[in-house]
């Protein structure tokens, strides 16, 4: 990959981070909305992986902005002087309303199990694997 590509990816990622933070969305929350892992979104924001047009459009939709706004923020980040990074404190809660706005990631409907299997599962959960046999 050429240096130009790396710079371009880094600037788009920096612009994405600026817009995401300005819109009050967490990295995990945005990742959930666009059906990618938080690690993938982090790699995009840090310029470690490229951004497809389709994914840029999905991100822009989730943030409620035009794709051009993300790209413009990236260009501005490329020309702006480097700032001291903020000290961020991780929290486990999403901003109010964010969860409802996105499809729930990794949440599944309850399983319908046969009574014998359900009893065995409950026993494993109560006693622990080492104390049960099936």
Span 9-31, pLDDT tens digits: 678 888 899 899 999 999 999 99
88 DSSP 8-state letter = -
- Nearest-angstrom CA–CA distance, 117 and 21: 46
Q: What is the pTM of this model?
A: 0.54
Judged against a pLDDT cut of 70, whether residue 100 lies above it is answered with no
The position carrying tokens 């600037």 is: 11
């Amino acid at each position: 990959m050429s240096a130009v590509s790396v710079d371009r990816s880094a600037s788009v990622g920096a612009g994405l981070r600026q817009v995401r933070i300005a819109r009050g969305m967490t990295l995990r929350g945005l990742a959930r909305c666009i059906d990618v892992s938080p690690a993938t979104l982090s790699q995009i924001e840090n310029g470690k992986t490229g951004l497809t047009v389709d994914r840029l459009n999905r991100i822009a939709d989730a943030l409620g902005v035009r794709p051009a706004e993300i790209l413009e923020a990236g260009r501005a980040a490329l020309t702006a002087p480097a700032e001291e990074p903020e000290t961020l404190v991780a929290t486990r809660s999403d901003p109010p309303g964010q969860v409802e706005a996105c499809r729930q990631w990794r949440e599944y409907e309850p399983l319908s199990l046969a009574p014998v299997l359900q009893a065995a599962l409950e026993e494993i959960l109560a006693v622990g694997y080492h104390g049960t046999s099936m």
